[in-house]
Amino acid sequence: MLRPIFVITIDTPAINVRPMYNSVTQCMPGENMTDNQTSTVASNETRTTDPYRPHYHFATPSGWLNDPNGMIYLDGEYHLFYQHHPDSILWGPMHWGHTVSRDLVHWQDLPIALAPDSLGMIFSGSAVIDHQNTAGFGAGAMVAVFTHDNNNHQSQSLAYSSDKGRTWTKYANNPVLVPPDNTPDFRDPKVFWYNDGRSTGHWVMLLAVNRSIWIYRSPDLKQWQKTDEITGRGASTGVWECPELLQLPLDGGPQTRCWVLVVSVQQGAPAGGSGQQYFVGDFDGQHFIPAEPADVVRWADYGADFYAAQAWNEAPRGRHIWLAWMNNWDYARQTPATTWRGAMSIPRELSLVSDTHGIQMLQQPIAELLATRIPLGNWSTLTVAPGNNPLANLHGDALDLVARFIVDDTTAASRFGLRVRVGASEQTTVGYNVAKGMLYIDRSHSGQQVPGFAAPQVLALPPRNGIVELHILVDRSSVEVFADGGRAVLTNQIFPDLASQGVELFAEGGSVQILSLDAYRLAVR
């Protein structure tokens, strides 16, 4: 049985982009890898034999991967830990896998950081740099704060590293925070240092507790006091998980910023199954104050495969960068796999923009990825008519396509767009319905089908100044669409045949004019 069509209306109106969460004006509206590194960018031989191993998305070398964890920047390295079962391509006893990058494009695999112990499996969490030695593990220690899970009894624990995350010691007095009255679903700590300039500062922890977010404070990462609880808001069809709290620049900043609370929800997302919602508001170090009514739901991604997104703590130059597990709990265990299962979305720069419909999150592909572009062609004032494909000679499975379609009184087409990973009987369609003003994605013919893949994805997207802009990133097993400057984003897995590498511009019912179209190959090695 197909899921119903989900229709979400957003008024999509630039982007910029860390949390070292110092209070600014608050918002309350109505490098190359060294020779001895092992990169997870697959070799040409691996890509030939493994049709779904991505070119430029991080994927686990083997075994199972889900949520990103412990994301921290230190001394030129972006650390990415992740939920990992090394012994199977199915979810199982959770470890923290570990990889690092100097450019967020090439990744060096490191040994498993944290493994299960007598207190249980190692569930999701975060990492911080304890510059002031508040926990007593040494000034500048990297400290992981994570959930121990023992037969569904969940508590929060610590581990620390004095060698930039290469080796880890678990705190002898774990756990440091246990659930009151055996409260279930007590997990996924997001921790950061808060200093508003008026005090010495303190640690903040957000925890997902069933369908709510609890906020704690601590002077030393060991003693925690609850200060707030956010509940009864947004989408609550499924259990809440993996909270994130970010202070993002608004309308270019940097002086004006807003706080954004991000929550993963297991069920009820726009494309069905799991997804990522967010709330705009203010934060005083102890309390999150939402700026919108409780029934307002904003989604970070309208595709099916964007979950448990986390941002890098202490990212340099004031950047705000995150990524997510590129999968959906509705079918995560059923996607095609051989020796590995699980990949991340591309890292994205984050900011906020305001308009008559409130404040929206903007996401853009990171500049480091776009720097790998090799131009394949550009077109301007192009007319696309039914049966005519100006891109017939364009092929690839690592592509970056930016198209600006003119939608006004001269537009005769009823539908138009692009089809990618096109083969004899395969294609993934990113289209626009002119009469309805709807962007849609169709992966019903995108290759190997997974239960739920045929469900339509539809999003109301009015033209901006008569233009519909689509930025499409294509990889071996994914399509990410950034529409209208990153105001609407859709992330999806696909599993086409290796030979399906065509690209089509299409128009139905008449012609459409293209203001500009640029095609690139993403040459990640």
Q: Active-site residue numbers? A: 67
C-alpha–C-alpha distance, residues 118 and 175, integer Å: 11
Order of all β-strands in the sheet with 438-445: 7-9, 457-460, 438-445, 427-433, 415-422, 502-508
Order of all β-strands in the sheet with 307-311: 307-311, 321-325, 348-355, 358-365
Return the H-helix or E-strand segment holding 368. helix 367-370
Contacts of 336 (CB under 8 A, 6+ apart): 52, 448, 450, 495
Return the H-helix or E-strand segment holding 9. strand 7-9
CA angle 141/144/148 to nearest 5° reads 150
Nearest in space to 501 (alpha carbons), one of 397, 430, 390: 397
C-alpha–C-alpha distance, residues 218 and 284, integer Å: 15
Please tell me whether residue 334 adopts helix, strand or coil conformation. helix
Instruction: Compute CA distances 503 → 357, 418, 518, whole Å.
Output: 35, 7, 13
CB atoms within 10 A of CB 390: 17
DSSP for 188-213, please give it: EEEEEEEB-SSSS-EEEEEEEETTEE
C-alpha–C-alpha distance, residues 222 and 206, integer Å: 14
**Structure tokens, 198:** 């008026």
CA angle 217/298/227 to nearest 5° reads 15
